[in-house]
Amino acid sequence: MNDVELAVRRALEEDIGPGDVTSEACIPAGREARGVFLARQHLVVGGTEVLPLIYHDLELLKRDGYTAEDGEVVAKVRGKARDLLAFERTALNFLQRLSGVATLARAFAEAVSGTGCKVLDTRKTTPGLRILEKHAAAAGGVTNHRIGLFDAILIKNNHIAAAGGVKQALENARTSSGLPIEIEVRTRAELREALENGARALLLDNLTPEEAREWIDEIASRATVEISGGVTLETVRAYALTGADFVSAGAITHSAPAVDLCFRLELL
Residue from 40, 76, 80, 89 carrying the catalytic annotation: 89
Residue from 88, 121, 133, 184 carrying the catalytic annotation: 184
> Is 134 labeled as catalytic in the residue annotation?
no
Residue from 40, 80, 123, 124 carrying the catalytic annotation: 124
Residue from 15, 110, 171, 205 carrying the catalytic annotation: 205
> Is 89 labeled as catalytic in the residue annotation?
yes
Residue from 156, 167, 186, 192 carrying the catalytic annotation: 156
> Is 151 labeled as catalytic in the residue annotation?
no
**SS3 labels along the chain:** CCHHHHHHHHHHHHHHCCCCHHHHHHCCCCCEEEEEEEECCCEECCCHHHHHHHCCEEEECCCCCCEECCCCEEEEEEEEHHHHHHHHHHHHHHHHHHHHHHHHHHHHHHHCCCCCCEEECCCCCCCCCHHHHHHHHHHHCCECCCCCCCCCEEECHHHHHHHCCHHHHHHHHHHHCCCCEEEEECCHHHHHHHHHCCCCEEEEECCCHHHHHHHHHHHCCCCEEEEECCCCCCCHHHHHCCCCCEEECCHHHHCCCCCCEEEEEEEC
Active site residues: 89, 124, 156, 184, 205
